[in-house]
Structure 1
Amino acid sequence: MAQAMKIAIVDDEQDMRQSISQWLALSGYDTETFASAEEALKALGPEYPGIVISDIRMPGMDGMQFLKKLMGTDSSLPVIMITGHGDVPMAVEAMRVGAFDFLEKPFNPDRMSELAKRATSARRLVLDNRALRRELSDGTQLMNKLIGASPVMERLREDILDLGQADGHVLIDGETGTGKTLVAHALHAVGSRAGKKFVLISCAAYEEEALAKRLFGPMQPEDGQLPAMEEARGGTLVLEDIEALSEMLQARLLSVINEQGMPAETRLVAISNLQEAGRTCEDALRPDLFYRLAALRITVPPLRQRGEDILTLFTRLSEQFAEEYGCETPQVTAQEAAQLLQAPWPGNVRQLINVAERAVLQSRRGSGTIASLLMSDHEEMQPVMTTEGKPLKEYVEAFERMLIDNTMRRHKGSIAAVMEELCLPRRTLNEKMAKYGLQRSDYL
């Protein structure tokens, strides 16, 4: 959900403050007013969720001093300056200092609304990007995204924590759609380089000459960036689709590694997306480069090996999409739960995301089934899509766990409401929750 944007209005004239506030409020903005720059500074921190509109000429701290203070606190905060007649040179100076734009009195209210719209859009983008960067540098947040209680996911999280503390280069492989890039982010976030640069390059996205330039340079001033090897100095350089490197670039990368042209404190993480039958990353790379990159290795498990995690993931994704589309989360029947568990999932988590979104959309329309979605993805499949034979007891227990989990979540941990909906006595519900590792505190 997009963050609500505020507009701070700073002007020593009460009538001006109120008229601007009323006009912007009519345009749908959340406004707050301040009679002085000193008063406003107490409320405007570096993460202020909005923009500032300020007069230039004010007693005490004037608008220019106020602007410089704000830019020192957060240079990305959009500040619109209001100038009187003859103050245009001062407004130009304000733009040089960092103002977003200026309005000359008497100003057109529609022009002010248009500027406010542009400024709040810019501010929202900055705050969203900051939140994303924090998330990608927060090991706890990233590890929480690696959902699942299956043995293979427990092992994956342990491998990430162990290898995150190591210094060797890492090779991440696995089927398409399993989340290899997320694993690379997590490796960086839980290690000693968490606060350093994380640079990701897709080797398949460039022609050979352009990729050589992007990786090794030289870069021209107009390119606006350093070569990736230099840009990632001290941090982590991730090379996606490593198998797309030509023979020449493989040799050059190996030379850089061997000659320590890449600083020793920089970690290289290679991601392989090879899907050709009977061919691996080891086949695609020259042996000496492969063994340097695969000093440490993580293979991300396919979804079909993750058992009940499939239902957990499907539930979480369905809830997210239902909230996004403003509708009820579709309820999964026992038959549909079995179909989700039995499906081969060649597209892995990426395919599951797609199925969950379409399940929510078709539920909103009141038509369609999960089986039809799985069949439409793979028309050659038969209605029963078992990839590995499992006892019926496992399917029943997986569905039972999902049903209790969903009901507890829907009733926010109310044991009485769950007992009533599922027609279970208290003791039986407690026993089943203990059996499936479900804690009431997780739902409160």
Structure 2
Amino acid sequence: MARMMKVAIVDDEEDLRQSVSQWLALSGFDTQTFECAEEALKTIGPDWPGVVISDIRMPGMDGMAFLKKLMGIDSGLPVIMITGHGDVPMAVEAMRMGAMDFMEKPFDPDRMTELAKRATNQRRQTLDNRALRKDLAGGEQMIGKLIGTSGPMERLREDILDLGQADGHVLIDGETGTGKTLVAHALHATGPRAGKKFIAVSCAAYAEDALSAKLFGPVEDSGLPLVEEVRGGTLCLEDVEALSSALQARLLTFINDQGTPAETRTIAICNVHGEGQTVEDALRPDLYFRLAALKITLPPLRNRGEDVLTLFTSMSQQFSEEYGCDAPELSAQEAAQLLQAPWPGNVRQLINVAERAVLQSRRGSGSIASLLMQGDDEPQVPAITTEGKPLKEYVENFEKMLIDNTMRRHKGSISNVMEELCLPRRTLNEKMAKYGLTRQDYL
């Protein structure tokens, strides 16, 4: 493991830095020498994969000034100081400034090796923790894009966190426009392969021969087929139901040859959603059961309740910023129309409606009802479903949206919101607590 970490040796005495370098190289370290601090600083930056051994007394920038620079670049970088007998107080001060330890001249080579091992182990742990935090942050960002607080969305986020850490292949099912590709990205970002490649390919976008070559080779330009390029990462197959029988057989062989745990994870996205159609019918049984051992089915937007208004508000706010205008304010009737719409295109359709609503508002014309009647796939999609919902649900959804919009507009100013909505502070506080709204979200 030590060979994976570098040791930078900084000393103006050539004999000393060469002897230290040779000894540590024999002990299995990857060494790099510098005759002055200025030269070393050209190489050592944040997250540099190694540790530093530096003399204290050097011409130009001395060891103390060098240490201060290094701590400013990366406070987690282990630095071991080399000191003469009379410089021990200075070395102690260096440790107070952030140095890991110090060695007195003439130093014991075994102690030097032991210090280098401790330093590289400490550095490796620091960098691993940073990488883990970065990966987790990436996963949180992906999950954060799955907007909504409804029961189905809470369960979806829990499933992503659970299956992201699992090692098996995954089948993602759900209606068009529900966000299946986004969920695939989130599964990758929250799992152990987060730092590896994620490659998505649509199986419906290529003819059989072209898709076969793209996935398994041979590739005409001498590049790597996708199964090789993505090795160790995640291969996402969109429209998996479009695979021919021959390609299904090759995919099954690829999956089976990896054994358990799989080196490369396969995430299959199914877009079969017609009446009486299932992905189980479209795939050979042995491939289906390999892919569907872990399965996620995304909820349609019409089953997500108040998420419709949350999504519409979020999307219209984004588009209003993009187009440089105010976001449209929904009336109670328009909010009810959004809640009752069947949303055959799901989130993708809602995003389109939100963008058009912003453009309409900028022109000062149009209505939500007219936008809901403009279906993407079929003309005259009905705006209202026949499925009734309790009046209380409509009232609460609208009330939450109204408070949310007003808080956004006034950037969290409670007094301005109280004045506009004619609410006493206690009532506003109770309603914000009821709907999970906090002032800090709007500051």
Alpha carbons 1:234, 1:263 under 8 Å: kept: no
Separation in 1, partners of 2:321, 2:253: 51
* 2:211 counterpart residue number: 211
* 1:125 counterpart residue number: none
The aligned runs of 1:92-171 (5 Å cut-off) are: 138-171=138-171
Deviation of residue 386 (structure 1)? 2.4
Alpha carbons 1:233, 1:262 under 8 Å: kept: no
Residue 203 of structure 1 aligns to which amino acid in structure 2?
Answer: C
Deviation of residue 226 (structure 1)? 1.3
Separation in 2, partners of 1:249, 1:161: 31
* 2:173 counterpart residue number: 173
Alpha carbons 2:374, 2:380 under 8 Å: kept: no
Aligned residues: 318
Separation in 2, partners of 1:175, 1:237: 21
Separation in 2, partners of 1:208, 1:386: 41
Residue 172 of structure 2 aligns to which amino acid in structure 1?
Answer: I
Alpha carbons 2:170, 2:295 under 8 Å: kept: yes
Alpha carbons 2:175, 2:271 under 8 Å: kept: yes
After superposition, give the CA deviation of every residue in 1:205-263 in whole Å (9 maximum; x if it has no partner): 1110111111111224x25x311111111110100000000011111111222232898
Worse-matched range after superposition: 258-267 or 333-342: 258-267
Separation in 2, partners of 1:388, 1:190: 37
Separation in 1, partners of 2:261, 2:335: 50
Separation in 2, partners of 1:135, 1:370: 40
After superposition, give the CA deviation of every residue in 1:104-133 in whole Å (9 maximum; x if it has no partner): xxxxxxxxxxxxxxxxxxxxxxxxxxxxxx
Match of 1:241 among 239, 242, 267: 239
Alpha carbons 1:135, 1:141 under 8 Å: kept: no
After superposition, give the CA deviation of every residue in 1:323-363 in whole Å (9 maximum; x if it has no partner): 11111111000000000000000000000000000000011
Residue 247 of structure 2 aligns to which amino acid in structure 1?
Answer: L
Deviation of residue 434 (structure 1)? 1.0
* 2:317 counterpart residue number: 319
Alpha carbons 1:314, 1:356 under 8 Å: kept: yes
After superposition, the Cα gap between the structure-2 partners of 1:254 and 1:155, relative to the gap in structure 1 and judged at 3 Å, is same
Q: Does 1:259 align with 2:257?
A: yes
Residue 333 of structure 2 aligns to which amino acid in structure 1?
Answer: Q
Separation in 2, partners of 1:429, 1:172: 41
Separation in 2, partners of 1:148, 1:243: 29
Deviation of residue 275 (structure 1)? 2.7
SS at match of 1:256: helix
After superposition, the Cα gap between the structure-2 partners of 1:263 and 1:151, relative to the gap in structure 1 and judged at 3 Å, is closer
Alpha carbons 2:167, 2:261 under 8 Å: kept: no
After superposition, the Cα gap between the structure-2 partners of 1:145 and 1:136, relative to the gap in structure 1 and judged at 3 Å, is farther
Separation in 2, partners of 1:412, 1:135: 31
After superposition, the Cα gap between the structure-2 partners of 1:175 and 1:195, relative to the gap in structure 1 and judged at 3 Å, is same
Alpha carbons 2:174, 2:299 under 8 Å: kept: yes
* 2:347 counterpart residue number: 349
* 1:51 counterpart residue number: none
* 1:297 counterpart residue number: 295
* 2:183 counterpart residue number: 183
- CA RMSD in angstroms comes to 2.6
Alpha carbons 1:193, 1:234 under 8 Å: kept: yes
Alpha carbons 2:150, 2:307 under 8 Å: kept: yes
* 1:71 counterpart residue number: none
Separation in 2, partners of 1:291, 1:387: 37
After superposition, give the CA deviation of every residue in 1:173-218 in whole Å (9 maximum; x if it has no partner): 1000000000000000001000011111111111101111111112
Deviation of residue 136 (structure 1)? 11
Residue 179 of structure 1 aligns to which amino acid in structure 2?
Answer: G
After superposition, give the CA deviation of every residue in 1:397-428 in whole Å (9 maximum; x if it has no partner): 10000000010111111000000111111111
After superposition, the Cα gap between the structure-2 partners of 1:326 and 1:216, relative to the gap in structure 1 and judged at 3 Å, is same
SS at match of 1:376: coil
Question: What TM-score results when the alignment is normalised by the length of structure 2?
Answer: 0.68
SS at match of 1:172: strand
* 2:422 counterpart residue number: 423
Separation in 1, partners of 2:233, 2:332: 47
After superposition, the Cα gap between the structure-2 partners of 1:269 and 1:348, relative to the gap in structure 1 and judged at 3 Å, is same
Alpha carbons 2:160, 2:187 under 8 Å: kept: yes
Q: Does 1:410 align with 2:409?
A: yes
* 2:283 counterpart residue number: 285
Alpha carbons 2:164, 2:191 under 8 Å: kept: yes
After superposition, the Cα gap between the structure-2 partners of 1:173 and 1:147, relative to the gap in structure 1 and judged at 3 Å, is same
- What 5-or-longer segments of structure 2 have no aligned partner? 1-37, 47-133
Runs of 4+ in 1 over 6 A off after TM superposition: 134-137
Separation in 1, partners of 2:293, 2:176: 22
Alpha carbons 1:302, 1:348 under 8 Å: kept: yes
Aligned residues: percent identity?
75
After superposition, the Cα gap between the structure-2 partners of 1:227 and 1:411, relative to the gap in structure 1 and judged at 3 Å, is same
Q: Does 1:433 align with 2:435?
A: no
Residue 367 of structure 1 aligns to which amino acid in structure 2?
Answer: S
Separation in 1, partners of 2:188, 2:386: 34
SS at match of 2:148: coil
* 2:229 counterpart residue number: 231
Alpha carbons 1:256, 1:262 under 8 Å: kept: no
Residue 394 of structure 1 aligns to which amino acid in structure 2?
Answer: E
SS at match of 1:238: strand
Separation in 1, partners of 2:436, 2:318: 23
Alpha carbons 2:341, 2:382 under 8 Å: kept: no
Higher-Rg structure is 2
After superposition, the Cα gap between the structure-2 partners of 1:343 and 1:152, relative to the gap in structure 1 and judged at 3 Å, is same
Separation in 2, partners of 1:258, 1:135: 28
SS at match of 1:276: coil
